[in-house]
Every structure is written in structure tokens, then in C-alpha cells.
Structure 1
Amino acid sequence: MNLSYIHHVAIIASDYEKSRHFYTELLEFPIINEVYRKERESYKCDFKVGESQIELFSFPSPPKRPNQPEAAGLRHLCFGVTDIEQTVSDLKKKGIRCEEIRSDPYTGKSYTFFKDPDGLPLEVYER
């Protein structure tokens, strides 16, 4: 088996336009492709994140996530950064509230969390 990298993470937004703006304008992820899937009444937008991607979906009235695969939510998504202080400063300048920077007790690396428009937890972790 050759599972060598994560290709993408999929997120279902409750407000597609708000989430699209957050990921493209505030986090500055470039759009790879965006389509409207009429048969599912669903938008799908792919963003480039380093060598990986985020797939952002819309669905009419997605249920809150107890455990269905087509519901809004994820545990958290973590982005590696080289300078966490600068990243947090950049996020705050864009009106994104971050938790205090903490230190991983096992690696000594710094990390913190912030949230997307649906309240999904996003993490930045200093490499």
C-alpha cells in the first residue's frame, strides 16, 4: 500500500458564499475549480492548499453532524505554518479570532485554533 499524502479534505458549508469568501479571500486559498451540480442542488469548489486540496460543498439544508457523511462538520483541520506568530497576526488583521498560542507537550511545537464560518475548528501548527 502506498498512502503517501492527503489529497483533499471535504467540508460541507451551511452558507456556501460565506464559507467560500472565508477560504478564498481571508485564508487566500486559490480556487482550482468551481462547479454547480444541478442534479444535487450543490456547489463544489476546490481550493489549493500546498500540495493538497479542500473541497467545499453546499447542499440544501444539510443536517448537523451526528455521524452522516453528508452533514456539516469535521473534528479539525490543521495547516502547517513556518511562523505561527506572523500567521496569527495576519489572521487577526482579517478579523479572525484565534485562541492563545499553546505548546505541544510532546513536540514542543507551537499551535493554536480558530474557526471557519460554520464554527469548524481549524488549527495552525508551527513546523
Structure 2
Amino acid sequence: MSKKFMHHVCIQTDKYEESLAFYRDIMEFEVVKETVGFHGRDFNTWLKLDDFMIELQTAKKGNTFNKWSSLNEGIVHMCFLVEDIDAEYKRIIELGYNKFKIKNGVVIYDVEDGRLFKIKAPEGTEIEIRDTNI
């Protein structure tokens, strides 16, 4: 088997409406398919940005999720590249979203060969926005 590209990440949330609005309105994903009552879940929704997809789903009936922590093993954050970090920050602020991670008293900070900021999705996923590729 040869690997072609990453297809999707599955994100579970107990804040479905808030998370859906975040990925659709703030992160500019397109809703491809929303399924109600999917295998014991209230919702299972596919969102797409270019060739990358997120499968957003609620808990199965009767289950509750553990809260996200940066001390968990596995994926710690997702990163998206933008052409203009300042314009992207301004766009998100103008949409009324302000759950940014502060580092050393600032939101946008310098890293090796570029700048970035991090934003927290309603369900706790940390999203990194940066202006340079590795």
C-alpha cells in the first residue's frame, strides 16, 4: 500500500453547534455532509477545506468525553498555513472569535523563520496558524 495524502481527522465534541460554527465560519471549512443519528451519535458531520477533511461527531448516547489536555499523548494541535498572519488574525477578531493562546504576553509571536498564533476551538482542539512552511 502506498500512502497518498492525509484524508481526515476525527474530532469529537460535546459542543457540537459551537464547534460546527467554528470550523465552518472561522476556519472556513465547507460542510459536505451532516448525518443525524449516526451509529448512536446525535451528529456526524464531514467538513472540507481544499483536500483536507474533518469528521466532527458527538458522543454516542450515554457516553461523556474526557476534557482535552496538552499533556495527553497523540495529536497536540493542527496547523494551517496562511499567506498573511496579521490579516488572518484580524479576520478572526472581526468575526468576533477571541479564544487565542497568549504566549509571553502576546498572541502573534516569532518562531524560527516565521510567525504564528494559536486559537482554541470550542471543543478544546488547539489550532496553530502560521505564515511559513517548514
**Structure 2 length as normaliser, TM-score?**
0.77
1:1-127 mapped onto 2 (5 Å cutoff): 2-59=2-59, 60=61, 61-64=63-66, 74-97=75-98, 98=100, 99=102, 100-105=107-112, 108-127=113-132
Structure 1 residues 74 and 94 mapped into 2: Cα distance closer, same or farther (>3 Å)? farther
Structure 1 residues 93 and 113 mapped into 2: Cα distance closer, same or farther (>3 Å)? same
Q: Which amino acid counterpart does residue 116 of structure 1 have in structure 2? A: A
The answer to whether the 8 Å contact 1:76/1:122 transfers is yes
Over the matched positions of the two proteins, sequence identity in percent amounts to: 25
| 3-state DSSP of counterpart to 2:47 | strand
Matching residue of 1:69: none
Structure 2 stretches lacking a partner, 5+ long: 69-73
Query: How far apart are the structure 2 equivalents of 1:39 and 1:101?
Result: 41
Provide, for residues 90-109 of structure 1, a one-character-per-residue CA deviation record: whole Å limited to 9, x for no partner: 0111222234212222xx12
The answer to whether the 8 Å contact 2:41/2:57 transfers is no
Q: Which amino acid counterpart does residue 90 of structure 2 have in structure 1? A: S
Please report how far the alpha carbon of residue 123 of structure 1 lies from its aligned counterpart in structure 2 after TM superposition: 0.8
| 3-state DSSP of counterpart to 1:88 | helix
Query: How far apart are the structure 2 equivalents of 1:77 and 1:89?
Result: 20
Q: Which moved more, 1:84-93 or 1:53-62?
A: 53-62
Please report how far the alpha carbon of residue 74 of structure 1 lies from its aligned counterpart in structure 2 after TM superposition: 4.9
Please report how far the alpha carbon of residue 65 of structure 1 lies from its aligned counterpart in structure 2 after TM superposition: 5.2
Please report how far the alpha carbon of residue 38 of structure 1 lies from its aligned counterpart in structure 2 after TM superposition: 4.5
Provide, for residues 57-110 of structure 1, a one-character-per-residue CA deviation record: whole Å limited to 9, x for no partner: 1114432058xxxxxx951111111111100110111222234212222xx121
CA RMSD of aligned residues (A): 2.3
| 3-state DSSP of counterpart to 2:76 | coil
For this pair of structures, how many residues does the alignment match? Answer: 120
| 3-state DSSP of counterpart to 2:39 | helix
Structure 1 stretches lacking a partner, 5+ long: 67-72
